[in-house]
Structure 1
Amino acid sequence: MEERERQRRLLERERLHMEQIRQLDFEELQVEEVGDDDDYSSDHDREHNHRNSGGASASGEFTYDTSLAALHSYLGDVEDTHNRLAFLDGGALLNLPMLYLEGVVLFPEATLPLRVIHVHFIAAVERALSQVVAPYTIGVVRLYRDPHNGRVRFANVGCTAEIRQYRRLEDGSVNVVTRGQQRFRLQRRWIDGDGATCGEVQIIQEDSPLRTPQEAVGRLSPLSSCQSRVLRAHSLESPRARCSGDCDGNESEAMSEDSFESELSPREKRLHHSVLHSSFDTIYESGSGDDAKLDSQVEVRQDSSLANLLGPLEGDEGRTALSGNHLFKRMKQKYALAQMREVPRAFWPNWVYRMYDSYTLAQKAADRWKHIVKAPNMDGFVMKPDLLSFHIASKIPVSESRRQELLEIDGISYRLRREIELLEGFDRIRCRTCETLIARRSDMLVMSSEGPLGAYVNPHGFVHEVMTLYKVTGLAVLGTPVKEHSWFPGYAWSITECASCGAPMGWLFTATRKRLKPRSFWGIRSSQVADDTR
């Protein structure tokens, strides 16, 4: 009885805490500017129970059906709206009903379950269901506390959500399943005459995936490559010898001059370097051919790639010995001038452009995801870099503020580069309040078909974005397991907190069926994870 009473008090405290978040001063929401602040207060009392530093075992067969968590069956029967909205034009200004949610960063194509119990938000949902312009569409903006003064603030960039399923309950609340559609910038906000939270938003115009200029101009080298080849020919260095530590081997191999030289024999390569050095100087200076004389005679095969450029040479059918002077003159007439006509007008080498090629970055991001996170597989998105960038951003197991950062990045290539950086640097999960180490990257466990991080809503209407782990350290478990309203069918949940500072970290899920594996795992709130992942 004592344990049940303690559990009841914990649930009541969590409910009150969420209600305080929602009970913002809505009269102040009626101001025109987005930058206005609202006071936020919270109850910091914590109840400590026993310390638990163990975790779910990673050994044994995995028997849980990960598709169950993505169904959000704890919401009960919900009706399909049978509405699929066409995308709004980029740059369009429109008024939308709004939801301001703490701990939530919604991305296009991501699923967001909701239990709407606040009267202003219920009015917003009802307006979305009946509006003529952008029907079944509602705006979602992240709500967060300023770490310096504790005031509630609103993110400037949010995402539209299309209501896919809904169910009105007897107590007046509404269960809703939505799906992210398009990013927008919040211009201003207010409450309308019906009590619905509303905002003026501008739809963000998304860019198209970028391709490297190499694909448009073939395998020709950029103009500046002529200069780099002359320098390398002068010093007789390999192209790789000049790469700094920042050069990527795969990207360097993409340079077309490397591929051209690789097809030449050693004798032809020496001739190629010598002639390039002379011809380049002659094109930009009015010097004589004597400056480019070769010290020795060389033999050139008539069927080589270089001989084809020069045309038929005098002499016997097999080989012809040419002086450096004669070779230089032929090269100036046929090779150097032809190269100047055909070279593309690109300032940087191709490997530089490939650093911002959306498709190259998409492949790299998918490979990093497969190596680090493993599931779900991202290979199907490689040819759709825009969708891949949003999909990774919505599932990457990092802090809430880092994911808001990804939402605000304009440009597919820039977002993918940042995601690759986060994936490569992600290693530790720490408590946001006290920086205590909670888990490592190797402790991740994917319990949903949607990925290692997902959004779930509790009976009090608060949405949690949760990353799942099979092992943690430094967490205390409070109360006995509860089966009702479990996000993972077949598992009961218990509230957990940081043993060092008492911050609410998430939940321990334990199996209620004998054959269910893993026997237990942990769900950690992304809003309580520190930004530093190293």
Structure 2
Amino acid sequence: MIQDDTTEDEEEEEEEGAIHNQEVVYDRSLPGAHSYLGDDLQDVSGRTIHDEDSYLTLPLLALPGVVLTPGQTIPLHLFEPSVVSMVRHILTTDRTFGLLTARVNSDEPVIGTTAEILAVKDEEDDRSGVSVVRVKAIGRQRFQVLESRRQVDGMLMGKVLILPESQLCDALEGAVAPSLRRRGVTLRSTGKFNKLSSAYATSLPPWVYKQYDADDLMQRLRCELLSWNDHLDLRSIPEDASQFSFWLASNLPLDDGQKLRLLRLHCSVQRLRCELSLMQRCSALCCKNCALRIAEKKDVFCMADEGPIGAYVNPGGHVHETLTLYKAQGLTLIGRPSTENSWFPGYAWTILQCRNCMQHMGWKFNAVKGKLKPEKFWGLCRSSLIPGILEESEGTEEWRPSM
């Protein structure tokens, strides 16, 4: 159930702020460049793709509150000796490790995503003398952990199965014999020919097949995205059904369990159907800890080319998948604004916590350079949010997305 906050904001810092769908005057390539990591990272060339259904032994890294999806970029700031040693080792091989989500209690198989290093800087901290590795990596393929073990040097190794990405065949292929098609059976049945017209030669109507048509699902999802924010640039979204489904999985404000359920699906059509169902039901964004209503779905917008959610890392090595919004409510500011290590160059950040339960929620960003728009926005941690799902009625069974 969604708990609403009816208290009026009294302080200027907590006012609801920016107008919906205002034009963004900002270089959206800057957040994805992760310039706060430094400009001295060395690019690593190559692309590693493993055979589907193959068995591999991979070094594993578990991060709390992070669910990496194929195609998603993730920055890392590493200084634990065993992890630094792991990165140095894989740089001499295929530059690939497995990323898992920590602290997920589930009886389901453990699912992760292979991450390939794109750029790296290995150095020693001047003050502490500790070895530090800064990394930019990208998600490649889903895998299932079959078994894992901790080596003497502390490195976590796992035997994994690379999961296949299945494609549904055309359900109407062969529905009408070529000889009948040439004689116009389909045309007489429908008055005009389209990709679903052959359904009239089967026992099921066209709308049934349409529910599993990837092109139609992607078009409906694009319309749903525009209903959230009509300034969204659809040209930046992948056109391939599988890549589109993973882009949505990484950019929808879902909790860890929902994202992992999407990763467990082997078929892009199933994934798209599930995502469409979730988007249509999502009405608001709430605090994960106390269910306080924090924002509306229409508040979501893109400050980065990659989409409304991006993964960023702080100097302490904590990775936060951060959702950008025009405005939010029910939040309290902690401390003073700072531009140090800002994920959005030109903006100063201030810590936010839930007014109701004091849970850390993210940051408020204020422009410190003129002519930047929006002048302020909110960046909330995906791991601190849950989507408010509309229920059919009281007393009904728990709703689950269509697949």
Regarding TM over 0.5, the answer is yes
State whether structure 2 residue 313 is matched by structure 1 residue 457.
yes
State whether structure 2 residue 75 is matched by structure 1 residue 113.
yes
CA distance in 2, matches of 1:212, 1:162: 36
* Matched AA of 1:112: I
CA distance in 2, matches of 1:398, 1:367: 19
CA distance in 2, matches of 1:439, 1:190: 42
* Matched AA of 2:123: L
Please list the CA deviations of residues 339-367 of structure 1 after superposition, one character each: whole Å capped at 9, or x if unmatched.
xxx99985534432232122332232233
Q: Against the structure 1 CA distance between its residues 463 and 454, is the aligned structure 2 distance closer, same or farther, given a 3 Å change threshold?
A: same
Question: Could you say which residue in structure 1 is the equivalent of 2:324?
Answer: 468
Deviation at 1:62, TM superposition (A): 2.9
Q: Against the structure 1 CA distance between its residues 261 and 55, is the aligned structure 2 distance closer, same or farther, given a 3 Å change threshold?
A: same
Q: Which of 390, 402, 415 is the matching residue for 2:258?
A: 402
Which of the pair is proportionally richer in strand?
2
CA distance in 1, matches of 2:272, 2:252: 12
State whether structure 2 residue 360 is matched by structure 1 residue 360.
no
Alignment of 1:122-201 (within 5 A): 122-131=84-93, 135-146=94-105, 156-171=110-125, 172-201=131-160
Q: Which of 188, 200, 203 is the matching residue for 1:260?
A: 188
Please list the CA deviations of residues 372-429 of structure 1 after superposition, one character each: whole Å capped at 9, or x if unmatched.
34424168634x2111111111112333332222112221111000111112122201
CA distance in 2, matches of 1:526, 1:219: 51
Q: Which runs of 5+ in 1 are unaligned?
A: 1-49, 148-152, 223-255, 265-341
Question: Could you say which residue in structure 1 is the equivalent of 2:353?
Answer: 497
Contact 1:70/1:450, CA 8 A, preserved across alignment: yes
Contact 1:397/1:452, CA 8 A, preserved across alignment: no
Contact 1:141/1:155, CA 8 A, preserved across alignment: no
Contact 2:253/2:385, CA 8 A, preserved across alignment: no
CA distance in 1, matches of 2:179, 2:80: 62
Contact 1:505/1:528, CA 8 A, preserved across alignment: yes
* Matched AA of 2:41: V
* Matched AA of 2:113: C
Alignment of 1:39-118 (within 5 A): 52-58=13-19, 61-76=23-38, 77-85=40-48, 87-118=49-80
Question: Could you say which residue in structure 2 is the equivalent of 1:29?
Answer: none
Identity %: 34
State whether structure 2 residue 370 is matched by structure 1 residue 517.
no
State whether structure 2 residue 161 is matched by structure 1 residue 202.
yes
Which of the pair is proportionally richer in helix?
1
Greater Cα offset, 205-214 or 439-448: 205-214
State whether structure 2 residue 238 is matched by structure 1 residue 381.
yes
Contact 1:206/1:411, CA 8 A, preserved across alignment: yes
Q: Against the structure 1 CA distance between its residues 212 and 499, is the aligned structure 2 distance closer, same or farther, given a 3 Å change threshold?
A: same
Deviation at 1:519, TM superposition (A): 1.2
Q: Which runs of 5+ in 2 are unaligned?
A: 1-10, 126-130, 193-197, 391-403
CA distance in 1, matches of 2:96, 2:32: 21
Contact 1:123/1:195, CA 8 A, preserved across alignment: no
Deviation at 1:116, TM superposition (A): 1.1
* Matched AA of 2:345: P
* Matched AA of 1:170: E
CA distance in 2, matches of 1:221, 1:518: 60
* Matched AA of 1:435: A
C-alpha RMSD of the superposition: 2.9
Please list the CA deviations of residues 230-269 of structure 1 after superposition, one character each: whole Å capped at 9, or x if unmatched.
xxxxxxxxxxxxxxxxxxxxxxxxxx87x635649xxxxx
CA distance in 2, matches of 1:190, 1:493: 40
Q: Against the structure 1 CA distance between its residues 444 and 190, is the aligned structure 2 distance closer, same or farther, given a 3 Å change threshold?
A: same
Q: Which has the larger radius of gyration?
A: 1
Q: Against the structure 1 CA distance between its residues 262 and 531, is the aligned structure 2 distance closer, same or farther, given a 3 Å change threshold?
A: closer
User: Which TM-score applies when normalising by structure 2?
Assistant: 0.82
Q: Against the structure 1 CA distance between its residues 65 and 164, is the aligned structure 2 distance closer, same or farther, given a 3 Å change threshold?
A: same
CA distance in 1, matches of 2:155, 2:338: 35
Contact 2:175/2:202, CA 8 A, preserved across alignment: no
Deviation at 1:494, TM superposition (A): 1.0
Q: Against the structure 1 CA distance between its residues 391 and 91, is the aligned structure 2 distance closer, same or farther, given a 3 Å change threshold?
A: same
Deviation at 1:218, TM superposition (A): 7.8
Q: Against the structure 1 CA distance between its residues 143 and 373, is the aligned structure 2 distance closer, same or farther, given a 3 Å change threshold?
A: farther
CA distance in 2, matches of 1:345, 1:420: 29
- Count of matched residue pairs: 364
* Matched AA of 2:160: V
CA distance in 2, matches of 1:532, 1:405: 18
CA distance in 2, matches of 1:486, 1:379: 24
